Amino acid sequence: MLSEKKINKRIVLAGGPGTGKTSVINALKKERFYCFEEAAREIFNEFKLKGSNFKTDPIKISKNILDKRKHDFESANLIDCRESVVFYDRGIHEITAYLNSIGKSSMYWDELPFKFNYDLIILFEPWKEIYKKDENRIENFSDAKKISPFIFEIYKKSGINMIKVPNFSIEERVKFILKNLP
pLDDT in tens, 73-116: 999 988 889 999 999 999 999 999 999 999 999 999 999 999 99
- Whether 132 has a pLDDT exceeding 90, the answer reads no
Domain that holds residue 32: 9-179
Q: How many CB atoms lie within 10 A of CB 23?
A: 16
Average pLDDT (27-53) is 90
The answer to whether residue 1 scores a pLDDT higher than 80 is no
Q: Considering Cα of 74, then 151, then 100, then 49, what sign does the dihedral take? A: negative
User: What's the domain count of the chain?
Assistant: 1
At residue 5 the predicted structure's pLDDT band, cuts being 50, 70 and 90, is low
CATH assignment of the domain containing 122 = 3.40.50.300
Helices (H), the chain: 21-30, 40-49, 58-75, 93-101, 107-111, 141-158, 170-179
Domain-located, residue 4: no
**Is residue 14 one of the residues assigned to a domain?**
yes
1 belongs to a structural domain: no
pTM of the model: 0.92
